[in-house]
């Protein structure tokens, strides 16, 4: 076993105040894809996700449901854990911020900062966003005097509170961002943080009075207060691996809405004050929209979209999410495009290619992969050369979080294999009695089997179940790593192929089913009686 520190990757922990939606699903699939690529590259990986369970909104929702906050969180946790199962997420840990292991670390860090004079008490008057559970500045109002919709209800409050000396670290943070331009991916997101830091920043209020909010972790130095949900939530990345030698995280995968200020301002400053290393990278993804509107719990969208994972299959749904969104940018969820990807990319291109191989081999080589000579002719050589160019480009773009480019590159090769089989026309070669044509037939089958094996290895981090099934159809076991398995070889020679396989069965969408029913009803509806001749309407 490797003695190297595992690649430690995290998602943002989801807020326990509703059901999972598409944004939650995408972040899990994206992070899982990164984790699986790292594992297949030979790195040990530790993958953390979980739930953020404290705060005013959780308390209010529980009250409306007639539950205790903990009962409500336990109920929500079931849904989020099931999401991980449904999407085949390979996380190693699931942390809940109500767990004792987390609370102990939060209180330890609060006490450490307080003892160092980096947390102080003062009276504060300002505007408070209930939805975001944070104080906001009047300068953030829109031109018409209204608050941005993201803040929801904003009220003015005056209260005594504890503050973290955030301002002490502003200049240091600017220096860190300037000295480490690749700390935030994609790079343009770093500019958002620097723009934010051009303005004066206030010290961070890290407490809420129990009189207003009881559902939280108590301040160890003042039991009349609980800590601010962001100070609590961000610590999960460390509390989950306390004493395990895994910190710092190699990548925090987060949405763009929580980059500034939580993850790119509060978190690095908190870590600096605590004497801890910073995470090595923030990977920031955009929002999913539908018809131009953001999909989220608060806007009422996203939940039913997850039904597509069941309709098309988990792997096909994962493929669509990873292929459609450029990491860092926004994307639009389009059911029609999902159907096109499923039928064109997966069914007609990859699935059909496998079926053609199995059918031709079943009829002509007793279902065995021929042990053809590696040299072959110019068409064979061209296919092998294309893979030699595809493999490094695929890995380079994928390891750089440009998964849409990686899949585009890979599908050029998959389509080239379809073109190759059309050009070679093995069904014609099989009818010939010429020895040279028999050799070409066997070379064709050998190259198709090997090409499909390599595609199966490539897609494993994105479509793990389909990759495993592809290997099984080729008479192989799916490998755990790319090493030794990502170069053209003769490993498929002599293997027994599956008799048949349907990787991507036909899917009828609800819209198509409804249209078909309507057409059927129209066709069987009684026709109006004909009027007698000569009678006017």
Domains (range + CATH), the chain: 334-517 (1.10.730.10)
Cβ(28)–Cβ(321) under 8 Å?
A: no
Write out the two tokens for 347: 């069914």
pLDDT value at residue 297:
53
> Per-residue pLDDT averaged across 42-61, rounded?
96
> Does the pLDDT of residue 133 top 80, yes or no?
no
> Per-residue pLDDT averaged across 526-534, rounded?
67
Q: At 1, is the pLDDT very low, low, confident or very high (cuts 50, 70, 90)?
A: very low
Q: At 475, is the pLDDT very low, low, confident or very high (cuts 50, 70, 90)?
A: very high
> Per-residue pLDDT averaged across 279-305, rounded?
78
pLDDT tens digits, residue range 334-391? 999 999 999 999 999 999 999 999 999 999 999 999 987 656 789 999 999 999 999 9
Write out the two tokens for 536: 């006017």
pLDDT tens digits, residue range 190-201? 999 999 999 999
- Give the whole-angstrom CA distance, residue 318 versus residue 25: 9
Burial of 494 by CB count in 10 Å (0-12 exposed, 13-18 middle, 19+ buried)? exposed
Q: What is the DSSP string of 222-268?
A: EEEEEE-HHHHHHTHHHHTTTTTT-PSPSEEEEEGGGIIIIIIIIHH
* Strand-pair category, 288-290 with 207-209: unpaired
* Strand-pair category, 293-294 with 282-285: unpaired
Q: At 300, is the pLDDT very low, low, confident or very high (cuts 50, 70, 90)?
A: very low
Q: At 534, is the pLDDT very low, low, confident or very high (cuts 50, 70, 90)?
A: low
In our burial notation (b when 16+ CB lie closer than 10 A, e otherwise), range 112-124 reads: ebbeeebbeeeeb
Question: Which residue, chain included where needed, has tokens 């973290």?
Answer: 164
Q: At 60, is the pLDDT very low, low, confident or very high (cuts 50, 70, 90)?
A: very high
pLDDT value at residue 531:
64
Side-chain-side CA neighbours of 29 within 13 Å: the count stands at: 29
> Does the pLDDT of residue 213 top 80, yes or no?
yes
The number of beta carbons lying within 10 Å of the beta carbon of residue 12 is 23
Mean of all residue pLDDT scores within the chain: 93
Cβ(410)–Cβ(453) under 8 Å?
A: no
Q: What are phi and psi of 224, to 5 degrees?
A: -85, 0
Give the distance, in angstroms, between the CA of residue 327 and the centroid of all CA atoms in the same chain: 10
Cα angle 292, 296, 298 (rounded to 5 degrees) comes to 110
> Does the pLDDT of residue 26 top 90, yes or no?
yes
Peptide bond into 186 cis (omega under 30): yes
Q: Which residue has the higher pLDDT, 511 or 115?
A: 115
E-strand spans in 1-153? 7-11, 14-15, 45-52, 93-96, 119-129, 134-136
The number of beta carbons lying within 10 Å of the beta carbon of residue 202 is 12
Write out the two tokens for 458: 């490539």
pLDDT value at residue 375:
66
Give the distance, in angstroms, between the CA of residue 373 and the centroid of all CA atoms in the same chain: 42
Q: At 533, is the pLDDT very low, low, confident or very high (cuts 50, 70, 90)?
A: low
The count of residues in the chain is 537
Q: Which residue has the higher pLDDT, 11 or 302?
A: 11
The contacts of residue 267 (CB under 8 Å, 6+ apart) are: 234, 279
pLDDT tens digits, residue range 68-81? 999 999 999 999 99
Write out the two tokens for 136: 């906001």
Helix 378-399 vs helix 435-459: crossing angle, to nearest 10: 0
Write out the two tokens for 214: 């009881």
> Does the pLDDT of residue 299 top 50, yes or no?
no
Q: Which residue has the higher pLDDT, 293 or 421?
A: 421
Q: Which residue has the higher pLDDT, 520 or 327?
A: 327
Q: What is the DSSP string of 330-382?
A: -EE--HHHHHHIIIIIIIIIIIHHHHHHHHHHHHHSTTBPP---S---HHHHH
Q: What are phi and psi of 17, to 5 degrees?
A: -140, 35
| Beta sheet of 331-332, edge-to-edge order | 293-294, 288-290, 331-332
> Does the pLDDT of residue 185 top 80, yes or no?
yes
DSSP 152: -
> Does the pLDDT of residue 537 top 50, yes or no?
no
Q: Lowest mean pLDDT of 85-99, 175-189, 363-377, name the range.
A: 363-377
- Give the whole-angstrom CA distance, residue 528 versus residue 537: 13
Burial of 206 by CB count in 10 Å (0-12 exposed, 13-18 middle, 19+ buried)? buried
- Give the whole-angstrom CA distance, residue 155 versus residue 42: 52
């Amino acid at each position: 076993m490797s003695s190297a520190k595992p690649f430690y990757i995290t998602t943002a922990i989801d807020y326990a105040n509703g059901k999972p939606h598409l944004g939650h699903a995408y972040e899990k699939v994206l992070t899982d894809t990164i984790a699986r690529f790292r594992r297949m590259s030979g790195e040990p990986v530790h993958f953390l996700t979980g739930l953020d369970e404290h705060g005013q909104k959780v308390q209010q929702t529980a009250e409306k449901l007639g539950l205790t906050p903990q009962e409500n969180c336990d109920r929500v946790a079931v849904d989020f854990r099931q999401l991980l199962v449904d999407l085949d997420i390979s996380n190693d840990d699931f942390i809940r911020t109500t767990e004792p292991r987390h609370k102990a670390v939060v209180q330890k860090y609060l006490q450490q900062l307080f003892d160092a004079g980096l947390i102080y008490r003062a009276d504060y008057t300002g505007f408070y966003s209930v939805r975001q559970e944070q104080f906001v500045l009047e300068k953030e109002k829109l031109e018409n005097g209204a608050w941005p919709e993201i803040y929801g209800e904003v009220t003015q409050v005056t209260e005594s509170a504890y503050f973290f000396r955030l301002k002490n670290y502003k200049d240091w943070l600017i220096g860190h961002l300037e000295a480490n331009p690749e700390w935030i991916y994609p790079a343009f997101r770093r500019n958002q943080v620097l723009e934010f830091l051009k303005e004066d920043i206030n010290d961070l209020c890290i407490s809420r009075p129990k009189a207003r909010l009881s559902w939280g972790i108590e301040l160890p130095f003042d039991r009349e207060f609980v800590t601010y949900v962001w100070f609590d939530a961000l610590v999960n990345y460390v509390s989950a691996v306390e004493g395990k030698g895994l910190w710092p995280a190699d990548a925090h995968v987060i949405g763009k809405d929580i980059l500034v200020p939580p993850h790119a301002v509060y978190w690095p400053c908190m870590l600096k004050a605590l004497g801890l290393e910073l995470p090595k990278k923030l990977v920031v993804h955009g929002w999913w929209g539908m018809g131009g509107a953001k999909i989220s719990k608060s806007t009422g969208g996203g939940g039913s979209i997850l039904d597509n994972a069941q309709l098309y299959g988990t792997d096909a749904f994962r493929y669509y999410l990873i292929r459609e969104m450029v990491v860092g940018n926004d994307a639009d969820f389009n059911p029609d495009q999902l159907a096109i990807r499923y039928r064109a990319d997966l069914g007609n291109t990859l699935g059909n290619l496998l079926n053609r191989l199995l059918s031709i081999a079943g009829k002509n080589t007793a279902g065995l992969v021929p042990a053809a000579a590696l040299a072959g002719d110019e068409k064979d050589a061209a296919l092998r050369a294309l893979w030699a160019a595809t493999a490094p480009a695929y890995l380079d773009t994928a390891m750089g979080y440009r998964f849409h480019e990686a899949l585009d590159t890979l599908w050029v090769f998959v389509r080239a294999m379809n073109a190759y089989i059309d050009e070679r026309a093995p069904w014609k070669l099989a009818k010939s009695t010429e020895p040279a044509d028999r050799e070409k037939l066997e070379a064709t089958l050998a190259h198709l089997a090997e090409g499909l094996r390599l595609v199966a290895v490539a897609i494993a981090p994105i479509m793990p179940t389909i990759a495993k099934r592809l290997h099984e159809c080729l008479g192989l076991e799916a490998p755990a790593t790319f090493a030794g398995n990502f170069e053209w070889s003769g490993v498929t020679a002599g293997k027994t192929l599956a008799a048949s396989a349907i990787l991507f069965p036909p899917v009828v969408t609800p819209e198509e089913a409804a249209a078909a029913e309507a057409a059927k009803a129209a066709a069987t509806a009684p026709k109006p009686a004909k009027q007698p001749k000569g009678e006017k309407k």
